[in-house]
Chains A and B, each alone.
Chain A
């Protein structure tokens, strides 16, 4: 326990904070910027794990995270927003206080669940995994509360970042798995991106309410 733990803890905590910021943010461009920050912190956290675990292959993961999640995907999202002409859109999120409180409750829940279960593990991975679970849960919460397809994409990506964080903390997840996860995210992202344009072409909006009413769903 020392500086190594402190920095790992701080980076993981910052990821939770960035997730909560994503939950709070209602402007699309700012949302993407927070997502970029999220990816950047992830890269730092993974790199720090590589350093304290002396696991060089994790540096590769960190580089992938930096490249894909902090640079490529947010950049692409920026372009999508620009091309769709929705960069000034403000998404109305109903009841921000309640959503934030739910986010905090999820953090508390994941600590409550994870810490007793992992009592035997070493503190660095314990706190990493507990906080990673909260990042994942908040990502899900973002996907549930957002009405805008782009917001849902942001939630999905932050969720994936959380999984990455857990993998980095839990020593010994093979690089192959890591690579394939990253690849699948990229694929998913491309698919989503294409869908966004298709949805937009068809309904003239990417507000999911249009899709729901098209399917005859009740809100």
Chain B
């Protein structure tokens, strides 16, 4: 299977070369990329339950070669990657014609796709890191596609810094692993037994490296800057797929290459995940740029995924709790799939709105449900799915995560006993805030009356974009009502990483899933859906039979004081005001400054709300000033005489020799 997959990657690389010389919007290129990605997705799905296979190509480092391996974990993530890639390429066939300067997107887009595939298939440290950096650079180039925009330049800069940090952490992590194994190949690392301290250090480095790429708080700062800056098909890929590749990297190292880490490491991951999910969604609620809101939401969902992973690590470390670990891991993987589906869908919708109205600012939207009915419908499905509403897919994965959390208090140790329920509270808080956030995102953008001329005159987007959204919405729906099939498909991955999997769900009637025991909990997505459908039809039919049929259109009632001006509607900021008032003062130092002129004065009243990004102030600003100071201090080294420079070289040499003598 690997050679066929690599042939697909080669086609993508060839497309990247073609893109460099191509003129025009590149519809053929996107169509070809979509086809290749779709075929690889199919192949990945087929090889998910298959035995692992390996391949070594004489590329890369001369004595090492380029190792590839396709096992259940990489097959699953390859499927997620290629599904997202196929959908965004399909979207881009239509969307790409809006691109002002396609020459800045076309070469890098297939390159980005190819690098994503290569990361997932890599089976040695060199090829992994090479593909990883290729992925970072290609996406960085895409972030800078609108290079005249000041915001984009800043986003690109911050992204580059964080990508370097992430690459560096992973480089050190693999260095530690290779030193214990004596080889850069993953196969050798898997067999090695690194010292416990070394293993923990490697795990923490992996957490930093993968966390910085995935957007784990406090390393998330680049994500809401960079993801919205790119063209929408790329935003969808970065948010929906690239963050998942980071999750893959962490899973690969923590579960595949390292020995079982201690329980506190799992608790650390769990706590970081919980904090990330709540902070991510609170930041998202404060945004009024639609794409930035979605990017912050990615941070939240990464938090939820890491809650699942952390739980799996805790249960695994506890010993004898492998079934619970399998449940938590399956929940995390399920959420990986779900998030890649609905986040891509939502970014497509945001892109369509952006092109139709010329702005991503929700405060200038409104009423689009009338002008763009199909986009609105698909976006609504995405909103409901990401808000974890039954019977859609987001609910299933969060429900599974919660079932795993409920097993936590049964552990004997006191740390997990106390921290796991708190993580449950954080997860519940994040889920309910996410619903609030997407009521806001959909309600302000698509409902109400248009707040600007552009929104009033918006037109429905093209059919390629719509079909990409339609496919993803359908998948969200199917994964929601047939969760048992998805869970069964994940069983090989869980087997490969933990040795056990969740009990097979296929023999159960309908779509019932029973994670632990029937008396404990069960959920039946398809029956719930059918029941909702039947009861809705019943209610409508009942109303048809019993009620008066007359419908009269009239001006809005609004308690008798209808105000025709759309400015009187709730805006994105005013919708979030109650929540800002509850959570803001502590977390964001939020304050409202009201200036009310005295009675009779003609000056307008003003209200201004102030938000502080505390994390940025506490974490990044001191770091930046520290680096600047250090650079300042080192600056005068540039203006020394040649004799001094020679002295430094000489001193360094002597110091080296001295330390050698000392520690030998």
Contacts and interface: CB of A to CB of B under 8 A. Distances in A.
Q: Do chains A and B touch in the complex (CB under 8 A)?
A: yes
Interface in A95-135: 95, 97-98, 108, 111-112, 115-116
Contacts of B586: 95, 97-98
Main SS of the interface on chain B? helix
A146 to B, nearest CB: 18
A112 B414 contact: yes
B585 interface: yes
Contacts of A98: 586
B585 A111 contact: no
Given A111-B414, A112-B414, A112-B418, 11 more contacts: A95-B585, A95-B586, A97-B582, A97-B586, A98-B586, A108-B418, A108-B422, A111-B418, A112-B415, A115-B414, A116-B414
Interface in A56-89: none
Interface in A122-170: none
Contacts, number: 14
Contacts of A115: 414
Contacts of B414: 111-112, 115-116
Contacts of A112: 414-415, 418
B267 to A, nearest CB: 12
Contacts of B582: 97
Interface residues of A, number: 8
A106 B586 CA distance: 19
A153 B414 CA distance: 34
A111 B585 CA distance: 30
A40 B415 CA distance: 34
Nearest to A104: B422
Contacts of B418: 108, 111-112
Most buried by B among A111, A112, A115: A112
Contacts of B585: 95
A37 B582 CA distance: 30
A161 B118 CA distance: 65
Closest 8 CB pairs of A and B: A108-B418, A112-B414, A98-B586, A95-B586, A112-B418, A116-B414, A97-B586, A95-B585
14 contacts: A95-B585, A95-B586, A97-B582, A97-B586, A98-B586, A108-B418, A108-B422, A111-B414, A111-B418, A112-B414, A112-B415, A112-B418, A115-B414, A116-B414
A116 B414 CA distance: 8
A153 to B, nearest CB: 27
A131 to B, nearest CB: 15
A53 B586 CA distance: 47
B421 to A, nearest CB: 9
A108 B415 CA distance: 10
Contacts of A116: 414
A116 B418 CA distance: 14
Nearest to B583: A97
Interface of B: 414-415, 418, 422, 582, 585-586
A76 to B, nearest CB: 36
Main SS of the interface on chain A? helix
A108 B425 CA distance: 14
Contacts of B422: 108
A115 B415 CA distance: 12
A98 B589 CA distance: 13
A138 B311 CA distance: 30
Nearest to A107: B418
B1 to A, nearest CB: 50
B221 to A, nearest CB: 24
A95 B582 CA distance: 10
A213 B418 CA distance: 41
B581 to A, nearest CB: 12
A104 B586 CA distance: 17
A95 B585 CA distance: 8
A111 B421 CA distance: 14
A34 to B, nearest CB: 24
Nearest to B582: A97
A3 B51 CA distance: 58
A218 to B, nearest CB: 20
A134 to B, nearest CB: 13
A95 B586 CA distance: 7
Contacts of B415: 112
A98 B422 CA distance: 14
A98 B586 CA distance: 8
B367 to A, nearest CB: 37
A97 B582 CA distance: 9
Interface string A186-203: 000000000000000000
Nearest to A95: B586
B524 to A, nearest CB: 35
Contacts of A111: 414, 418
A97 B415 CA distance: 23
Nearest to A97: B586
B585 to A, nearest CB: 7
A106 to B, nearest CB: 12
Contacts of A97: 582, 586
A108 B582 CA distance: 25
A8 to B, nearest CB: 22
A115 B413 CA distance: 11
B589 to A, nearest CB: 11
A148 to B, nearest CB: 21
Nearest to A108: B418
A12 to B, nearest CB: 18
Nearest to B421: A108
A112 B415 CA distance: 7
Nearest to A96: B586
A116 B413 CA distance: 9
B578 to A, nearest CB: 14
Nearest to A116: B414
Nearest to B413: A116
B166 to A, nearest CB: 32
A111 B422 CA distance: 15
B97 to A, nearest CB: 50
A111 B415 CA distance: 11
A67 B585 CA distance: 43
Nearest to B419: A108
A38 to B, nearest CB: 25
A98 B414 CA distance: 23
A116 B412 CA distance: 11
Contacts of A108: 418, 422
A111 B419 CA distance: 12
Nearest to B414: A112
Most buried by A among B415, B582, B586: B586
Nearest to B418: A108
B414 to A, nearest CB: 5
B104 to A, nearest CB: 47
A116 B585 CA distance: 37
Nearest to A109: B418
A150 B415 CA distance: 36
A93 to B, nearest CB: 13
A112 B582 CA distance: 30
A94 B178 CA distance: 52
A183 B566 CA distance: 70
A142 B220 CA distance: 36
Nearest to B422: A108
A104 to B, nearest CB: 9
Nearest to A115: B414
A111 B418 CA distance: 9
A116 B586 CA distance: 34
A126 B515 CA distance: 35
A217 to B, nearest CB: 24
Nearest to B585: A95
A188 B308 CA distance: 52
Nearest to A94: B585
A95 B422 CA distance: 20
B342 to A, nearest CB: 31
A160 B585 CA distance: 33
A147 B414 CA distance: 35
